[in-house]
A and B are shown apart, each in its own frame.
Chain A
Amino acid sequence: MKNRKERIDRGIKARSSDIFALLSWREMLYLAAPRVLPVVGCLVLPLVLGAYWQKVLLSVAVFALLAISWDILAQTGMVSLGQALFFGVGAYLSGVMNHYWGLNPLITIPIASVMGGLICTLLLLPVLRLRGIYFSMVTLIIPLILVRVVEATKIFGGTEGLSGMTPLPSKWIELYLVMAVLLTALFGFRRMMDSDYGLVLKGINDNDRSVINAGINIYWFKAQSLFIAGALGAFCGAFMTHVYMFVGMPVFALDYSILPIAAAIVGGPGTLAGATLGAFILVPLSEALRGFGGLRIVLYGAFLVIFIVALPEGIFHYLQRKYHQFERWTEVEK
């Protein structure tokens, strides 16, 4: 009896990398495992972690959402260097609604998400025609302007910020709300990017002029992509406002711009899953390194450079490739 090695995915892949012919539960498991594991992980983790790491998990989820929002924009050909804009707008919106009008967090968060998406889209609408690094520069600058405007005009509490927000009813609602949003966003937007609609968005990134040639109004699609990313980012801001019970100038901080980019680059841009994976690696890592203080951002910077140069595809693409290269021993047929 002779044995030979066989790639596990060989028999399953019928035609292309995403159409499968399944013959057994084992093959089903092989395909389902990488999709089910993160879902189960996200749902179980809040139960097993201690109070401190639950807080970390919250910020992991928030940064993962910001990274997903960055990735959606990047896949549409708009590389943002200022996710803090989305975050900050959402944070201030829900903060103001809660502080001045006393609205319930469960009302302010959805309203702030949608309104935040709209406001960010309107803010960036004049520069939708910009391409490449010119768009990036604008996104880098706008959060900086907003910080200075808040500082100069002293609106919304000025440098002090607004404090005393209503917290969410319980920490379990906090945790499972953000986990639910994360999982929905991750799988939902992955699905969206694979649909025809997503194809148009990716086309704008690959070659915008040929998408125009196909008779498609790319600005309308870019605006929609901005709205999606903006609303996602604004949700993060609005959510964190009620978690910290505070909103102020730090919401426009560099952290909220850099960490999502670092997460998406490290995890692997272009898949959304990579961005999430990156956040799940970088945020706990930076928590573990909290003792080093400011060195964390040094680390992000170094990660960015190393991954851009050495592993531009990111961890996720690498793992995905390796997963599909798993082999098993099978008998040689006589």
Chain B
Amino acid sequence: MLVGTTLYALINTAILALMAIGFNLTFGISGIANFAYGAFYVLAAYGIWGMLNLLHLNYLIAVFIAVLTNMILGALIYRFVLLRVRGQALSEVIATFGIGLAILELFSYFGWVGFEYTLPVFMDKSYIIAGTYVDFQRLAILGFSAILIFGLWWFTHHTATGLAFRGIAQDERTALTFGIDSDWIATLSVSFGAGVAAVAALFIIPLGSISPGEGYDVLIKALAVCIIGGLGSTGGVIAASFIVGFAERFTDTYIGSHWTMIVSLVAILVVLTIKPSGLFGKQKELEERI
């Protein structure tokens, strides 16, 4: 039981990291808390579902189109909405929250909820590891999360665009003097964040089903992980995913499934109250609290 719980906690950690990394990418670079993140996640999931089941497209083509659509949509939202309220953090939050709300509630209006609304697993196989059943999909998530996090780390540390990303994150004006177009980089950051949300949906949705409520859950979980880890810090995301991931699984097994959400929410509250910049956050203290 303990080994099994630990294994599933590890997978839960990977799922959380996968959910949070896109949100974290956008916030870490452009400082935009993209509250439409959960909506992007659900949008991509429904998009792929529709292309597979209604248009009968090839799986890979459908995935490609969904990720691309999400990225373009993210860029458009930045260009036409966020650019006009840039720098006013609260207007950004309200605007993205409004967009997310509109998308999610539109889907719940269509009423596409049920077990048939799910994505295919990659391979219908399962293994027995240390006496516990684990299906291939969960292992794929575990592997892919690690690859994605490493990939993003490499991207932001060893490519010109990635370094420009970090430059904007550190000091926008200084970055401007080095000829980095901050608006373009911020557009890319929102766009990449939306793209990662689509990829996360691709991996995580096959475990359950698509529903608009999922969008709110993803947003809250991404917020929880990013706040606990420190907004904008990749190391923090990993650490916080571990904390929340293990805490959730263990409360689920030993206390009750009703309490899992409460654990992560209370964790956010405690971290925000004690150290709002998060465990690994390097944001300027004065911007968060006085």
A-to-B contact residues, CB < 8 Å: 79, 81, 126-127, 129-134, 136-138, 140-142, 144-145, 148-149, 151-152, 208-209, 212, 254, 258, 261-262, 265, 292-295, 297-305, 308-309, 312
Please indicate the chain B residues that have their CB under 8 angstroms from the CB of A299 in the complex. 102
Whether B256 sits at the interface, judged by CB under 8 Å, is: yes
CB-CB nearest in chain A for B93:
A133
Q: Is the CB of A304 within 8 A of B93?
A: no
Whether B236 sits at the interface, judged by CB under 8 Å, is: no
25 residue pairs from A and B, CB less than 8 Å apart: A131-B289, A132-B89, A132-B90, A132-B287, A132-B288, A133-B33, A133-B93, A134-B272, A138-B268, A141-B223, A141-B269, A152-B262, A208-B290, A209-B290, A212-B290, A262-B98, A265-B94, A297-B101, A297-B102, A297-B105, A298-B102, A304-B95, A304-B98, A304-B101, A309-B80
A95 CA to B14 CA, complexed, in Å:
43
Q: Is the CB of B289 within 8 A of A301?
A: no
A131 CA to B284 CA, complexed, in Å:
12
A332 CA to B63 CA, complexed, in Å:
73
User: Closest approach, in angstroms, between the C-beta of A221 and any C-beta of chain B?
Assistant: 13
A312 CA to B265 CA, complexed, in Å:
32
Which chain B residues in 224-263 approach chain A with CB under 8 Å? 227, 256, 258-259, 261-262
Q: Is the CB of A129 within 8 A of B289?
A: yes
Q: Is the CB of B256 within 8 A of A152?
A: yes
- Set B84, B103, B227: member contacting A137, Cβ < 8 A: B227
Please indicate the chain A residues that have their CB under 8 angstroms from the CB of B256 in the complex. 152
Q: Contacts A137-B268, A138-B272: A308 and B108 contacting too (C-beta < 8 A)?
A: no
- Set A138, A142, A308: member contacting B91, Cβ < 8 A: A308
A134 CA to B100 CA, complexed, in Å:
19
Q: Is the CB of A131 within 8 A of B95?
A: no
Please indicate the chain B residues that have their CB under 8 angstroms from the CB of A262 in the complex. 98
Whether B81 sits at the interface, judged by CB under 8 Å, is: yes
Q: Is the CB of A136 within 8 A of B90?
A: yes
Q: Is the CB of A137 within 8 A of B223?
A: yes
Q: Is the CB of A304 within 8 A of B94?
A: yes
Please indicate the chain A residues that have their CB under 8 angstroms from the CB of B102 in the complex. 297-299, 301-302, 305
Q: Is the CB of B262 within 8 A of A149?
A: yes
CB-CB nearest in chain A for B274:
A126
Please indicate the chain A residues that have their CB under 8 angstroms from the CB of B174 in the complex. none
Q: Contacts A145-B262, A305-B81: A134 and B276 contacting too (C-beta < 8 A)?
A: yes
User: Closest approach, in angstroms, between the C-beta of B91 and any C-beta of chain A?
Assistant: 5
User: Closest approach, in angstroms, between the C-beta of B77 and any C-beta of chain A?
Assistant: 9
CB-CB nearest in chain A for B85:
A308
**Other A-B pairs, 5, CB within 8 Å; known A134-B288, A152-B259, A297-B102:** A142-B269, A298-B102, A301-B98, A301-B99, A301-B101
Q: Is the CB of B272 within 8 A of A130?
A: yes
User: Closest approach, in angstroms, between the C-beta of B111 and any C-beta of chain A?
Assistant: 8
CB-CB nearest in chain A for B27:
A133
Please indicate the chain B residues that have their CB under 8 angstroms from the CB of A137 in the complex. 223, 227, 268, 272
CB-CB nearest in chain A for B91:
A308
Whether B106 sits at the interface, judged by CB under 8 Å, is: yes
Whether B109 sits at the interface, judged by CB under 8 Å, is: yes
- Chain B window 262-290, contacts with chain A (Cβ cutoff 8 Å), 1 for yes, 0 for no: 10011011001100100000000001111
Q: Is the CB of A304 within 8 A of B258?
A: no
- Set A151, A295, A303: member contacting B105, Cβ < 8 A: A295
Q: Is the CB of B95 within 8 A of A309?
A: yes
Q: Is the CB of B93 within 8 A of A294?
A: no
Whether B21 sits at the interface, judged by CB under 8 Å, is: no
Q: Is the CB of A294 within 8 A of B98?
A: no
User: Closest approach, in angstroms, between the C-beta of B187 and any C-beta of chain A?
Assistant: 16
Whether B220 sits at the interface, judged by CB under 8 Å, is: yes
User: Closest approach, in angstroms, between the C-beta of A285 and any C-beta of chain B?
Assistant: 15
CB-CB nearest in chain A for B83:
A309
Q: Is the CB of A130 within 8 A of B227?
A: no
Whether B144 sits at the interface, judged by CB under 8 Å, is: no
Please indicate the chain A residues that have their CB under 8 angstroms from the CB of B290 in the complex. 129, 131, 208-209, 212
CB-CB nearest in chain B for A264:
B94
Q: Is the CB of A300 within 8 A of B98?
A: yes
Q: Is the CB of B265 within 8 A of A141?
A: yes
